[in-house]
C-alpha cells in the first residue's frame, strides 16, 4: 500500500472507531479544513515568520497535521487520488504560469504580461 493510502487508512480507522463518518459530509469537512488552516495561520498572528518559528513551532506542526488530515479525508470521501490531482494541478499551473513570463514575479496569472 502506498504511503498516502496508508495515512488515509489510519485516519479512516480513527474516525470509524468513533462512528464519526455520519458527521463527515463534504461541506462540513471543507468547512473544518478552513477552520484548521485558520488555526495554523493564527500561529503567525502579529508576528514575522521568524518570530513565529521561534515560539510556535509545536503548534504549527499540530495545526498543519490537522489541515492535512482533513484534506486527506475529503480527498478520500470524494474518491480523489491525491497524487493524481496534485500532478494535474501542477500541469495546469505550468500552462497558466509559463516559466518565461512568471520567473521572479509574484503576479497572479490573470495579470501576467
Question: Segment 37-96, which members bind its own copies (CB under 8 A)?
Answer: 37-49, 52-53, 57, 60-62, 64-69, 71-72, 74-75, 78, 80, 82-83, 85-90, 92-94
| Site size toward its own copies, by CB under 8 A | 73
Quick note: the x/- pattern for its own copies over 2-21, rule CB under 8 A, is xxx-xx--xx--x--xxxx-
Q: Any contact of residue 112 with its own copies (CB under 8 A)? A: no
HEC per residue, 27-71: HHHHHHHHHHHHHHHHCCCCCCHHHHHHHCHHHHHHHHHHHHHHH
Contact between 79 and 38 (Cβ < 8 Å): no
3-state secondary structure of 105: coil
Shortest distance, position 5 Cβ to its own copies, whole Å: 9
Amino acid at each position: 500500500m502506498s504511503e498516502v493510502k496508508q495515512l488515509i487508512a489510519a485516519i479512516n480507522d480513527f474516525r470509524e472507531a468513533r462512528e464519526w463518518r455520519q458527521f463527515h459530509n463534504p461541506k462540513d469537512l471543507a468547512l473544518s479544513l478552513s477552520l484548521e488552516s485558520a488555526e495554523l495561520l493564527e500561529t503567525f498572528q502579529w508576528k514575522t515568520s521568524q518570530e513565529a518559528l521561534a515560539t510556535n513551532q509545536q503548534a504549527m506542526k499540530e495545526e498543519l497535521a490537522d489541515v492535512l488530515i482533513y484534506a486527506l479525508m475529503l480527498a478520500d470521501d470524494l474518491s480523489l487520488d491525491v497524487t493524481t490531482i496534485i500532478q494535474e494541478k501542477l500541469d495546469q499551473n505550468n500552462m497558466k504560469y509559463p516559466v518565461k513570463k512568471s520567473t521572479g514575479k509574484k503576479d497572479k496569472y490573470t495579470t501576467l504580461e
